[in-house]
Chains A and B, each alone.
Chain A
Amino acid sequence: MSSNTANQTLRTRYSAEVKDILKRYPDDQKRSAVMPLLFLSQKEGLQATVSVMSEIAQILDISITQVASIVGFYTLYYSHSGGKNRIQICTDLPCALRGADDFADKVCEKLGVKLGETTEDGEFTVESVMCLAACDKAPMFQVQNGDGITYHERQTISDVQAVIEQLGNAEIDKSPEGAE
């Protein structure tokens, strides 16, 4: 399975990054690189597809099942498709005491989705997540997308509006270049 579905994306497009990641761990402990390689693969899209996982398995000389188990265990990796931008609102106790649940509802209303759902244009998934170590700056959320993870703290709904517009525009701006 791995040989015919695996692609070469990481090794061709990101060869310097792959090399740099592997250097962080002992030569006989390549498996350690599975998490950073999964993060690297998210530059091409947040979903860890079978072909992505196969390639990582090949690079590290481990089974695709071992890669898939990591995707399943850690919440910042995704086995299913979702929005290009994941808006992850902390609704854990400290944030909830400062209005995070109401805030999350309003963000959902703004985007016309429920928690866990993705907007029709595929741009945004809104999720409620566990504590993000920003309890004194609630309400807050992070945005995860191909560029990584960005925090947005002490947020109002108009702040969210600005973030959403900026991300939406950024995608529009990128698309002519991105179409190779």
Chain B
Amino acid sequence: MTEYLLLRHRNRGEENIADLDTYLSLGGFEAYERVVTTMTPQEVIDIVKASGLRGRGGAGFPTGVKWSFLSDRFPRYVVANSDESEPGTFKDREIMEQNPFQFLEGLMICAYAAQAEVAYNYCRGEFWELTQVLESKVRQLNDRGLLGRRIFDTDYSLQINHHLGAGAYICGEESALLESIEGKLGQPRLKPPFPADRGLYQLPTVVNNTETLTNVPLIISRGPEWYKSIGTEKSCGPKIMCLSGHAKHPGNYETPLGITFRELIFDLAGGIRDDKALKAIMPSGASAPFLPASDEVLDTPLTYEDIPKIGSQLGSASIILLDETVDISWAALKTMKFFEHESCGKCTPCREGTYWMYHLLGRINSDKAEQADVDLLGEVAQQVVGKCLCPLGDFATSAVFSGIELFQQDFNLHIATAVNGKDDSNTK
């Protein structure tokens, strides 16, 4: 890509885009002004719908459609989901650190479209320093009259508040996030009703991911047709790909949706560290199935529609690379440790299932397991999947099912070591 759209601070000559005057001098908040002074909320929603923008937090749901679901009740709320906690995801942080005003402008346009007069930005608690900076940016916007009462001399008023999480992955799930703002445990709600009907304080609420919102000012200023011309027919626009693990040059790569794994990993990120062979890819952090590093996989475009065809998900494009030295049963153990820790405890299959899967994987990795334990691991996963209120339980089983299916030899090696160990002890 010749021009960065989301990571605009990387464009030459725009080094200080986190400075409000610089952002304004580059046309910042013109889209917001045009929306507030000349457009109806419905017109804004129609443009975002027409752009094909899909949610960047993982689910890929069409953003404009989500906005159009709001119930006809007031007041309404808009919430930015900056809880970024999926292992392997670090894009929202770079956006907010380096291009904060484009994100805030997107949040403000979304708030106008929803006719919300209060918006929250929910940041994970670890973004402590970043949140203090963002709060000062919001104060600047208030001072300039871009936030506050009667913006641009219209009847529209808006304030933005920040709410810090405190270390809970589950709060990235939108209904758990809303519970957390309400001062409760971050546990998902039963849906329906969806937040668009009964969200924050039981009022109509839109929750959008940080990266999603950062796309919105561009769509308004350059038009939905321009936006649709980037990416593929069903996956429009630019996307930040977070590359971690054994990449030679890990980091955020902004590309059009539809770039292949091969182009991203080998052309942009320099290939694999120490020029080792790539063994497996986790395309969506800890949450989606492993993919083997086959030619078919490497030539698959990174889109919402193509990755499911090869058995995984694009999610938020948090791509973890595992080289030939990695034992997949160990990677599954690490993944399960995460989910065991992060299960909120509300649904029994997830709470108990992640605990037992973690312990079974621990037994396998310490060479004390038999084949029956691997079978049991699969059975426990089977009893978790599809049986919980939110997708966390399902996510936890991804590494188990795909790990056992695709990399059985890694599990077998531990079983063989255990059997040999037993034989040795019998002969002693």
Contact = CB atoms under 8 A, between A and B. Distances in A.
A131 B183 contact: no
Contacts of A92: 87, 286, 334, 338
A131 B338 contact: yes
Contact of A135 (B124, B244, B326, B342): B244
Interface residues of B, number: 55
Given A32-B181, A35-B166, A130 B246 contact: no
Given A94-B88, A97-B322, A136-B244, A74 B124 contact: no
A151 B129 contact: yes
A77 B125 CA distance: 10
Residue among A36, A62, A133 with most chain B CB within 10 A: A133
A70 interface: yes
A130 to B, nearest CB: 6
A83 to B, nearest CB: 17
A167 B318 CA distance: 33
A75 B341 CA distance: 10
Interface in A10-60: 24-26, 29, 31-36, 38-39, 60
Nearest to B186: A73
A94 B186 contact: no
Given A133-B93, A135-B244, A33 B341 contact: no
A133 B86 CA distance: 8
Contacts of A172: none
A158 interface: no
A76 interface: yes
Nearest to B181: A32
Given A133-B85, A136-B252, A35 B126 contact: no
B341 A98 contact: no
A96 interface: yes
Interface in A114-138: 129-136, 138
B205 to A, nearest CB: 13
A135 B250 contact: yes
Contact of A74 (B90, B166, B246, B322): B166
A163 interface: no
Contact of A136 (B182, B243, B342): B243
Interface stretch (B157-165, B219-227, B390-398, B419-427): B157-165
Contacts of A24: 161-163
B242 interface: yes
Chain B binding surface, main DSSP class: mixed
Contacts of B87: 92-94, 130-131, 135
B163 A36 contact: yes
A148 interface: yes
A92 B88 CA distance: 9
A24 B244 CA distance: 36
A97 B321 CA distance: 9
A26 B203 CA distance: 12
Contacts of A130: 85, 87, 169, 338, 341-342
Given A74-B186, A130-B87, A149-B128, 17 more contacts: A32-B183, A60-B183, A69-B185, A70-B184, A73-B186, A93-B338, A133-B84, A133-B93, A133-B127, A135-B87, A135-B250, A136-B90, A136-B243, A136-B244, A136-B251, A138-B244, A151-B129
25 contacts: A24-B161, A25-B161, A31-B182, A31-B184, A33-B183, A70-B183, A73-B185, A74-B125, A77-B166, A92-B87, A93-B88, A93-B320, A93-B331, A94-B244, A96-B334, A98-B250, A129-B167, A130-B342, A133-B85, A133-B89, A135-B320, A136-B244, A148-B128, A148-B129, A150-B128
Interface of B: 84-90, 92-93, 124-129, 132, 161-169, 180-186, 201, 242-246, 250-252, 282, 286, 318, 320-322, 326, 331, 334-335, 338, 341-342, 344
Interface of A: 24-26, 29, 31-36, 38-39, 60, 62, 66, 69-70, 73-77, 92-94, 96-98, 129-136, 138, 142, 148-151
